[in-house]
A and B are shown apart, each in its own frame.
Chain A
Amino acid sequence: MIRLVKVSKSYGDTIAVRQLSLVVNQGEVCVLIGPSGCGKTTTLRMVNRLIEPTAGRIFINGKEISRVKPEQLRRSIGYAIQSVGLFPHMTVADNIAVVPELLHWAKSRVAHRIDELLRLVGLDPLEYASKYPNQLSGGEAQRIGVARALAANPPILLMDEPFGAVDPLTREKLQAQFLRIQQELKKTVLLVTHDLDEAIRLADRIAIMASGRLVQHATPEEILSRPTNKFVHDFVGTDRALKRLSRIGVASFIRPTHSVKLSTPMKEVASVCERCHWVWVVDDDGKFTGWLDRTSLPAANSVRQAMVVGDRDEITITKNATLREALSRMLGQGFNSIPVVDEEGRLIGEVSLGDVEAATAKMEP
C-alpha cells in the first residue's frame, strides 16, 4: 500500500505538487493523469525518492520512506519509464538481472528468473535473452522494460508512461498483456499517463491532477459518470459515453448466431437464410471465414461461390473485447452485428448494435 499525506514539492517559487494526499491500496492499479505540468510525474518520482518532497510524508506498507536509504528503497520498487532506458551495452538477460544482482541473488536463481519473466511478457527466452537492446523493436523493448521492473518481484510498481513510445496497435497489445499480468501478480501499481483511454482501460482508480492538486480520485466509471467539477468534465471530454463502453466487456452480450459451413449444401443454406438477411460462414473446423448475403444465393451453386471472404483480424472480436471495440468494428465494417470468436478463431456468437445501444441507455447520465 502506498500512502501520500499532504505531500508538496516546490522548486523555488514554482509549486509542482501541493498538499497531495492519496492512497493506493494493495493490489490496485492507480493511474495518475492530467495535463502536462500537472505534477503527476513529480508525484511518482517522490515515491521512490528520485525527488524529495518539500513537505509531507509518504508511507509504503506503513513505513515512512524517508527513513529508508534511497538505493535500498528503489531496489524494492519496480520502475518502468516511457523511454525504457535499457542499458545498450548489456544483453536483454543482463538488463533484467540488474536489480536481482544488486540484491546479490544466486546466479542460478537469477537465470531462472530471467526465463520466467521473458515468458511472462510473451518473449521466447532462447531467442531474446542474448539480444542487445538495439536489436529489439519498440514494443519488445517496452516489454523488456516491464520485465526488468518486475525482476526482483517487488510488491510495488511505478510506471511512467510505460506504453508511451509505441504505435497504437502495439500499445493496445501491451495494455492487454499488462492487464493479464496484473490479474496474475496483483501488484500495487502507480502508473502515470496522459492518455485517458489508457487510464480508463487499465485503472482500478484514476487520480486526476491539475496544477499540482488532486482534483478527483475515483473509479473510471465514477469519473466518467460523475465528474467532480468542470475541469474533470472538460478533461474527460464529450465522448464520455463512448469511453464508458470501453469499461464493459462483450462477454455478457454475446448471443447465438446463424452460420453455415463451406460444405453446407445450397438447399440447406437457403432454408437458413429464409430467417435472416445474411449468415456468417465458417470452415469445417468452425473457424470464421466470411459471410453470405441472401441476395447472392440464386446466382451461385456453392457456399464458396456466394460468400464474401472476410479478414478474421479486421472483422471478428474475442470475448475479452470491450463494447467499445465491438462498436468500432461495426461502424468500420458497416455491419449491425459483429462475430465473436474464441482464441482459435472459431465462431462462438455475435454482438449486435441493438445490444450496445441498450447498454448505453442503461448507463447513468
Chain B
Amino acid sequence: MGRLVTRDSVAISGSLIGLASLLIGWLTLKPSRIAAGTSLNLFESIGWVGGLTVLGLWLACLILSLTGKKERSAVTLGILANLIVIASFLLVGLFSGKLLEGEAQIARVSLGAGVWITLAGAYVVIFSARQTLRGSTIWRNVVSWAGLAVLVFLLIEGWFQDISIMTEFSGREERFLQELMQHIFLFGGSVAVGTLLGISLGIWATRSRRAEAPIFFTTNITQTIPSLALFGLLIAPLSALSFAFPVLREFGIRGVGVAPAVIALVIYSLLPIVRNTYVGLRQLDPAVIDAGRGMGMSRAQIFRKIEVPLAAPLVLEGVRTASVQSVGLAAIAALIGAGGLGWFIFQGLGQAAADLILLGAIPVIVLALLVDAIMRTIVRVATPKGLGKGNQ
C-alpha cells in the first residue's frame, strides 16, 4: 500500500522557531545582578564553532522535516532536537564561565531569550516526533526524555554555576528546598481538602435539587474573584477570628500565613472538582442505574459498583485541573506570608533581580508540568476498560 507523504508542518514550525532563535540574544552580560546588561548575539555568546554547530543542527532539522513524515525520519528528527537541547545548554554553561573571566566579581551572565526559544522550538519538534512514533514505545520514550535527563544531570553537576540564576540559587539551597516543600505542602494539602470537599458537594448537588443551585452559584462566584483579592479578603475575617478565639492561634490560624492561603486555594480548587463530580454522575445512562436497581443492587452497591467506577475518570480529571491551577496560584500565597516558591518571585520583584524571579518561576512551571503528567497517568489508570470508543 502506498503511503501518503504529508509534510510534517509541526516539525517545520519547530525548526523555523529554532532558526529564528539564533537571530536574537543568547546570553546577557550584566555588570551586577540588578543592572541592565548588554545582550550578546549567538556567536558572541557561544563562539563561532558553537554557534555554527547549533545553526547546522537546526538546518538539518528543517531539511529533514521538509522531506516528509516517516517513522524513520521521526526518530532522526527526535534525536536531532535532543542534540540541539543538549548542545545549546552545554555551550551556554561552558561559555558563561568564559565570559565572566576578567569581569568584576559582581558581574553576571544570564540566559537570553534566544536560549529559551531554542528550547521551545526543540520541544515542538520533539512533540511532533512523538506523535509520529505512536508505534514504538522505546524510541518514543528516548526521544521524549533524553534531552531532559541530560539537562537535569548537568544541573545537578553544577554545569550552570556561572549562570546568574544558579548564582542566585547558590547560598539559598536550604531556603529553596524549604520553600519548595512549603509549596508542595500548600497546593497538595489544599487539593486534598478540596477533593474531599468538592466530591462531597458534587454528590450532594446531584442528590438534592435544593442544594444544586446554591452550590454552583457559590463555587462559580468564588472562581471569579481575582486570586490576589481573595487572599487579601481572607485576612480580615481570619484576624478577627483569631483575636476573638486566641486558642485558634495555637493551631496557626491567623490573618496572614498558611491559613488564609490554604482556605483560598481550597476555594479555588472546588469548582473544577464539584463540576466534574456532578457531570460525572449526571452523565451516567439512567438505564444503567435502573438495570442495577431492577436486578436487586442496593443503593450502596449501585454507588460503589456502578457510579464510582464510571464517574471516576471525570472526577479525577477535575482534580487534575485543580492541582495544576493550584500549583500556579500557590505562588501568589507568598504575598500573605504563606511562603512557597512565590517567595523568590516576590523577593526578586522587590529587588528588581530578574534571575531571582526566575528561580521561583521556573520551578513552579516544572512542578505544574510534573503534576499534570502524574495526574494524567492516574486518570488513565482509573479509566475502566470498556469506556471510550469501541475497539474491535
The docked-state distance in angstroms from the alpha carbon of A133 to that of B384 is: 12
Q: Which residue of A72, A85, A91 is within 8 Å of B290 (Cβ)? A: A85
Contact A89 B385 (CB under 8 A): yes
- Contact call A89/B386, Cβ cutoff below 8 A: yes
- Cα of A95 to Cα of B388 in the assembled complex, Å: 18
**Within 8 Å of chain A (Cβ to Cβ): is B16?**
no
Q: Does B214 belong to the interface (CB within 8 Å)? A: no
Give which listed residue, B294, B306, B309, contacts A81 with CB less than 8 A.
Answer: B294
Residues of chain A with a CB closer than 8 A to B350's CB: none
Query: Digit string of B292-304 for contact with A (CB within 8 Å is 1, else 0)?
Result: 1111111001000
| In contact, B294 and A48 (Cβ under 8 angstroms) | yes
Known: A72-B296, A98-B297. A135 touches B287 (CB 8 A): no
Which of the residues A70, A72, A74, A85 comes within 8 Å of B285, measured between beta carbons? A85
Task: Knowing A81-B287, A83-B287, A84-B291 are in contact, say whether A134-B296 is a contact too (CB < 8 A).
Answer: no
B155 within 8 Å of A (CB atoms) = no
- For A83, give its contact among B285, B310, B388 (CB under 8 Å): B285
B390's partner among A48, A76, A132 (CB-CB below 8 A) is A132
Q: Which of the residues A76, A86, A89 comes within 8 Å of B310, measured between beta carbons?
A: A89
Q: Which residue in chain B gives the minimum CB-CB distance to A45?
A: B294
The reply on B136 being an interface residue by CB < 8 A is no
Decide yes or no: A85 and B391 within 8 Å by CB, A75-B295, A102-B296 being known contacts. Answer: no
Q: Is the CB of B386 within 8 A of A85?
A: no
Is the beta-carbon distance between A89 and B387 smaller than 8 angstroms?
A: yes
**Which B residues are in CB contact (< 8 Å) with A335?**
none
Q: Which of A13-46 contact B (CB under 8 A)?
A: none
Give the number of residue pairs across the A-B interface with Cβ within 8 Å.
79
Find out whether the CB atom of A79 lies under 8 angstroms from the CB atom of B294: yes
Bound-complex Cα distance A308 to B289 (A): 55
B389 at the interface (CB under 8 A from A): yes
A133-B386, A134-B389, A135-B390 known; A84-B295 Cβ under 8 A: no
Instruction: Determine whether the beta carbon of A87 is less than 8 Å from that of B389.
Output: no
> Is the beta-carbon distance between A74 and B296 smaller than 8 angstroms?
yes
Chain A residues contacting B291 (CB-CB under 8 Å) are: 79, 81, 84-87
A99 pairs with B295, CB closer than 8 A: yes
Q: Which residues of B contact A56 (CB under 8 A)?
A: none
User: Per DSSP, are chain A's interface residues mostly helix, strand or loop, or mixed?
Assistant: mixed
Known: A83-B285, A85-B287. Is A91-B294 also a contact (CB below 8 A)?
A: no
Q: Does A331 contact B (CB under 8 A)?
A: no
Complex Cα–Cα for A113 and B41 (A): 77
Instruction: Say whether, besides A132-B386, A134-B386, A71 and B287 are in contact (CB < 8 Å).
Output: no
* Size category, A interface: 20 to 34
B137 interfacial by beta-carbon distance below 8 Å? no
A73 contacts chain B at the CB level, 8 A cutoff: yes
Q: Which residues of A contact B386 (CB under 8 A)?
A: 88-91, 132-134
Considering only CB atoms, which chain A residue lies closest to B288 in the complex? A85
Report if A251 contacts B (CB, 8 A).
no
Give the contacting residue for B296; candidates A73, A83, A132, A135; CB below 8 A.
Answer: A73
Residues from chain A with a CB closer than 8 A to the CB of B287 are: 81, 83-85
A71 cross-chain contacts in B, Cβ below 8 A: 296-298
Which residue of the partner chain, among A74, A102, A132, A133, contacts B294 with CB atoms under 8 Å?
Answer: A74
Contact partner of B288 among A87, A99, A158, CB < 8 A?
Answer: A87
The answer to whether A98 touches B295, judged by C-beta atoms less than 8 angstroms apart, is yes
Answer whether residue A242 sits at the interface, using C-beta atoms and an 8 A cutoff: no
Q: In the complex, how many angstroms separate the beta carbon of A58 from the nearest chain B beta carbon?
A: 16
With A and B bound together, what is the CA distance between A210 and B283 in angstroms? 34
- B295–A135 touching, CB < 8 Å: no
Q: What 0/1 pattern do residues 373 to 392 of B give for CB contact below 8 A with A? A: 00000000000111111111
In the complex, chain B residues whose CB is within 8 Å of the CB of A74: 293-296
| Interface flags, A83-127, vs B, CB<8A=1, else 0 | 111111111000000110010000000000000000000000000
Pick the most buried of A71, A85, A132: most chain B CB atoms within 10 A of its CB. Answer: A85
B residues near A84, Cβ cutoff 8 Å: 287, 291
Q: In the assembled complex, how far is the CB of residue B358 from the closest CB belonging to chain A, in whole angstroms?
A: 46
Which residues of B235-294 are within 8 A (CB) of A? 285, 287-294
Q: Which residues of B contact A158 (CB under 8 A)?
A: 294
* A-binding residues in B (CB < 8 A): 285, 287-298, 301, 305-306, 309-310, 384-392
With A85-B288, A88-B387 known, 18 other A-B pairs at CB within 8 A are A70-B296, A73-B296, A79-B295, A83-B285, A85-B285, A87-B305, A87-B306, A88-B288, A89-B386, A91-B386, A98-B295, A99-B296, A102-B296, A102-B301, A134-B388, A134-B389, A135-B392, A158-B294
Binding site for B on A (CB under 8 A): 48, 50, 70-76, 79, 81, 83-91, 98-99, 102, 132-135, 148, 158
Task: List 14 A-B pairs, Cβ < 8 Å.
Answer: A70-B296, A75-B295, A79-B294, A81-B287, A84-B291, A85-B287, A85-B288, A87-B291, A88-B285, A88-B288, A98-B292, A102-B297, A132-B390, A134-B388
Give the 7 A-B residue pairs with the shortest CB-CB distance, closest first. Answer: A85-B291, A132-B386, A74-B296, A89-B384, A75-B296, A83-B287, A79-B294
